[in-house]
Structure 1
Amino acid sequence: MSASSLLIYPDPRLRLVAAPVTAFDEALRDSARVLEAVMLAVSALGLTLPHIGRAQRLVLLRMEPGEPVTAYVNPEIVWASPERGPQQEGSVSMLGVMDVVDRAVRVRVRYRDLDGAEHAEEAEGFRAACLQHEIDQLDGIFWIERLSRLRRDRAIKRFGKLRRPGA
């Protein structure tokens, strides 16, 4: 799969709730390899299987070039700080559009790795926002749904203009 495998907003599959992964096998590792190839091809910090039309709960995250990619299988936020803060967000499925989303500043996430081993991670700041963003995607919540109606409408309009031929 390549960058052309990426679903583009408003594809309705971006709003589907992803099913839990139940088999930690070679098929899951193959899916992770495909997802990583697409993620690197589009220079994303994070990507989910739903971004490429596969409704399973797998997130890949790599915050910095050269940093190893972390796989989060069936991730769930088990704690979020009451303190919130703004983060600039966007999506490779809506390339060229960004806006500020208010999210918990710190989170604790429980997940499994590709072999099924359980892990927990505490994250803060931008990494916490990225985890929340990608877990939202697994839950069928595209990032612009976290914006006010006015800002969401503006983002959709900007994206429409960017997609016009010659834009």
Structure 2
Amino acid sequence: MPIREILQLGHPVLREVAAPVADPTAPDVAALVTDLTDTVAHWRETTGYGRAIAAPQIGVLQRVILLRLPGHPVWALINPSIVEHSPDTIEVWDACLSFLSIFMRVTRYPWIRVRYQDLRGAWHETHAGAEDDLAELLQHEIDHLDGILALDRLTDVKSICSRQEFERQFKSSSPYGR
């Protein structure tokens, strides 16, 4: 399938709420997952960044996210929602394929429980924590489905830095350095 254009910061679709997927088994959902897989793989190969992507980032307002973590199978989550989270929060580095030139510190929960459907329509729940930085990654992608960007979770405007400065000072101790 084709590599799709990733919408960039300022595009109004990134601020819209995505609609639930009525039938996760539909062929158009499988095609969307293929497009998301190919697109995030392309970005990872060309930029060194890209662990996941949400359908709104390619202009599709459906509740679909795709994770492509190194050393793991590709994982599509249809209609994901956070059903439980830790009572405390942490501060982590974040960036986005929709504004890859900007890095910032954001607030996230250290662990979450996510309910989602697979491509067969079956419901699952998963607990996500610090391993593979899964909790922060899922929160970032689920936020996209609700029109929320990492910039909205910013802890301090002084933490914003360019990609070049982030790589010079902080990348090696962040999830992006792995």
TM-score, normalised relative to structure 2? 0.81
Question: Identity rate of aligned residues, in percent?
Answer: 36
Q: Of 54, 63, 72, which aligns to 1:57?
A: 63
Q: Of 139, 151, 157, which aligns to 1:144?
A: 151
CA distance in 1, matches of 2:156, 2:59: 26
Where do residues 10-49 of structure 1 align in structure 2 (5 Å cutoff)?
10-24=10-24, 25-43=26-44, 44-49=50-55
| 2:89 paired residue number | 84
Q: Of 136, 147, 154, which aligns to 1:129?
A: 136
Q: Is the Cα–Cα contact under 8 Å of residues 83 and 115 in structure 2 kept in the other structure?
A: yes
| 2:110 paired residue number | 105
Offset at residue 2 of structure 1 (A): 2.1
Q: Deviations over 1:63-104 (max 9, x none)?
A: 22x421111100000000012112111001101211111111
Q: Which runs of 5+ in 2 are unaligned?
A: 45-49, 164-178
Count residues with an aligned counterpart: 154
Q: Deviations over 1:126-147 (max 9, x none)?
A: 2100000100000000110111
Q: Match of 2:98, SS?
A: helix
CA distance in 1, matches of 2:90, 2:40: 26
Q: Which runs of 5+ in 1 are unaligned?
A: 160-167
| 1:163 paired residue number | none
TM-score, normalised relative to structure 1? 0.86
Q: CA-atom RMSD, angstroms? A: 1.7
2:141 alignment partner AA: E
| 2:7 paired residue number | 7
Q: Deviations over 1:32-52 (max 9, x none)?
A: 001111011111101011000
